[in-house]
Amino acid sequence: MKNPILWTVHGVATVIAMSVALWAVFFYAPADVQPQMGASWPYVQRIFYFHVAAAISAGLCYLLVFVGSVGYLRTRQDRWDHLGHVAAELGVMFSVFVLISGPLWARPIWGVFWRWEPRLTTMMITFTIYVAYLMVRSYGEPGERTQRFAAVVGIVAFVNVPLVHYSINMWAANQQLHPPKVELDPAMLHTKLVCYFTFACLFTLLMRLRLRQEHQAARLQALSRDTAISGDI
Domain ranges of the chain: 44-222
Question: Torsion over CA of 200, 202, 203 and 206, rounded to 10 degrees?
Answer: 160
Closest CA to 159 of 64, 90, 66, 54: 66
User: What are the φ and ψ backbone dihedral angles of 76, each rounded to 5 degrees?
Assistant: 60, 25
Share of the chain above pLDDT 70, in %: 82
Report the pLDDT value the prediction gives residue 44, as an integer from 0 to 100: 72
pLDDT at 85 > cutoff 70 = yes
**Range with top average pLDDT, 14-28, 109-123, 135-149:** 14-28
Report the pLDDT value the prediction gives residue 179, as an integer from 0 to 100: 57
pLDDT at 33 > cutoff 60 = no
Q: Is 198 exposed, middle or buried (0-12, 13-18, 19+ CB in 10 A)?
A: buried
Exposure on the CB side of residue 147, measured as CA atoms within 13 A: 19
Which residues have a Cβ under 8 Å from the Cβ of 177 and sit 6 or more positions away? 106, 110, 112, 115, 117, 119, 120
Q: Which residue has the higher pLDDT, 44 or 51?
A: 51
**Range with top average pLDDT, 33-37, 95-99, 176-180:** 95-99
pLDDT at 37 > cutoff 60 = no
Euclidean distance between CA atoms 123 and 112, whole angstroms: 17
How would you label 112-145 residue by residue, b for 16+ Cβ within 10 Å and e otherwise?
eeeeebbbbbbbbebbebbeebbebbeeeeeeee
Report the pLDDT value the prediction gives residue 42, as an integer from 0 to 100: 58
Where does 44-222 sit in CATH, by number? 1.20.120
Q: How confident is the model at residue 181 (pLDDT cuts 50, 70, 90)?
A: low
- Name the least confident of 21-35, 154-168, 197-211, 214-228: 214-228
